[in-house]
Amino acid sequence: MDTGGGARAGGTLRSLALVDEWQVPDTAAGVVLADGTVAGRHGPTGRPIPLASVTKPLAAYAVLVAVEEGAVELDEPAGPPGSTVRHLLAHASGLAFEGTRVQARPGERRIYSNSGFEVLADQVTKASGIPFPEYLRQAVFEPLGMRDTGLTGSPAKDAVSTVEDLLRFAAELQAPKLLDPATVAEAASVVFPGLSGVLPGFGNQKPNDWGLGFEIRGGKHPHWTGASSSPRTFGHFGQSGTFLWVDPEAGAACVVLTGQAFGPWAAEVWPFFTDAVLAELREPERTAGPRG
C-alpha cells in the first residue's frame, strides 16, 4: 500500500479535517483508494484505539481464511441446531446478542449476535488447533503488516488497532491478496436476503442486510453512512465510536477511530462526514474539463 501523498494533486482530502469539529478525543481518520493509494489521513493515525464491533470484520476475515484453507466450511454445522458457519457470520443463526439463548430458527431473522462470533472463534480454534487470537494474527494481521493490531478478548468486540493498520485492511478488502476475490465479493454481498432485524443504534430495518461478517448498506434508513453512499457499501461500526466502510462504486474506503463511545453525536455527524468525503472524492469527475 502506498502510504505517501494523497490521491489528489496538492495533498490530503480536506474533508477529513471535519472530524476536528466533533470535539471528540483521540479522533483520527483516513481514506484509501481501490488501488491502495492513501488519499488522505488526519489526526493521530498511529494511536491504538479499542475497536469494539469493528473487531467483527477482522475476525470474519480470519474465518474466511480458515474456509479457504479447508479447516472449516461455510455450510458445516455451528451454533444452534440447524445453524452453520454461514448463518453465524451473517447474524442469522438465531442466537441472542449475548449468551446461549436461541431467539429464532436459523435463517428466520437477523439477530445481531456477539455470541455467534465467539462460537465461530471456537470452531476455528478446534479445527486448526490454534487459539483464535493467534490464528487471527497469523492469517490477517501479520501478512498485512498490521503491527499495532491485536485481539485481547472476545472476537466480537475486543480488538485494538490504529487507523494506519485498518487502512491496510481496507486496502485488502478492495484488492484481496489473502483471499480469493470471489470469496470477498460473496462476503460483501447480501447473505440470506430479505431478513428483518435491528441495526444496533439505528432501530428496525426491513430488510436488515448483512454479508459474511460485514453489514451491507442497501436501502437502510437511518444509517451510519451517508445519503450518497452506494447501496453496495459494506463495513461496520463499533460502540467505541469507530467505523470502517468500503464503497465499491466510489472506489474508496474510509476509517475513523475515536476516543468517545457511540451515541447520538455519532449518528448525527457520521453521515454528513461520509457525504463530504464522497463529494470530495468525486470532485475531479465534476471539475474535469474537455481535453483537446
Distances (CA, A) of 214 to 54, 58, 118, 140: 9, 10, 16, 16
Q: What does each of the 292 residues of the chain score in pLDDT, given as a tens digit?
A: 544 333 333 348 999 999 999 999 999 999 999 999 999 999 999 999 999 999 999 999 999 999 999 999 999 999 999 999 999 999 999 999 999 999 999 999 999 999 999 999 999 999 999 999 999 999 999 999 999 999 999 999 999 999 999 999 999 999 999 999 999 999 999 999 999 999 999 999 999 999 999 999 999 999 999 999 999 999 999 999 999 999 999 999 999 999 999 999 999 999 999 999 999 999 865 444 443 3
* Cα dihedral 261, 265, 6, 11 sign: negative
* Cα dihedral 33, 37, 38, 40 sign: negative
All structural domains of the chain, each given as residue ranges with its CATH number in brackets, are: 14-283 (3.40.710.10)
